[in-house]
Amino acid sequence: MRFFTSRKPALLNFSLLLMFLAAWLLSYIMPALKGLLQEEHLFYGTVSHAAIPSVFGGSNIPFFDKTLFQINGDDQINFVLYASKEMLDDMSDWYSFAAVNAGDVPLEVSASRIDEKTFIVHSIASTDGELDFETLVMDYQVYYGFIGCSIVLAMMLASLVLFILWIVKKRR
């Protein structure tokens, strides 16, 4: 029973937990970061389908809360809109994905391709308003991407320190 009273297993367990949490957080941030490095494409059309993933929908947690939509009836291409609750509230004044006439409003979407079927939205505009590149990418995606990467780095460093302590610490 001495195994359970030692701190050595706790060091390894916390190290593995922090490593797992860092990888999980990085998996949510990575698509937006990858989208920053890709060339932008311009699309015109109307929204044919929109969805908010239910796991974190409406949580206002950066990169966890996102809106997925498709335009022009093309169900092979998905657009991912990372935006804060305030941005979506401002956007709802001129466009709402849940509105009855959402499929009738023409949109101009600037997005970068991150894989064959997925694009990250960098700006979106209609005849009544817009979310520009500066607001959506620079003030939101880059800012929270930096904060997220800092958190991931801190978690990985803490995990490494705990792992080294696990190796060095002697059992009683």
CA atoms of 104 and 124, how far apart (whole Å): 15
Give the DSSP per-residue string, the chain.
-GGGG-SHHHHHHHHHHHHHHHHHHHHHHHHHHHHHTSPEEEEEE-EEEEE--TTTTT---TTTSEEEEEETT-TT-EEEEE--HHHHHHHHTT--TTSTTTTTS-EEEEEEEEETTEEEEEEEEESS-EE-HIIIIIIIIIHHHHHHHHHHHHHHHHHHHHHHHHHHPPP-
Domain boundaries, the chain: 2-168
Write down the pLDDT at residue 66. 87
Write down the pLDDT at residue 105. 85
Write down the pLDDT at residue 4. 53
CA atoms of 24 and 22, how far apart (whole Å): 5
Task: With a cut of 50, list the residues of the chain below it in pLDDT.
Answer: 1
Bridge partners of 9, per DSSP, are none
Q: Which two tokens stand for residue 21?
A: 């949490």
Which residue is listed with tokens 């803490």? 158
Write down the pLDDT at residue 172. 60
Write down the pLDDT at residue 22. 97
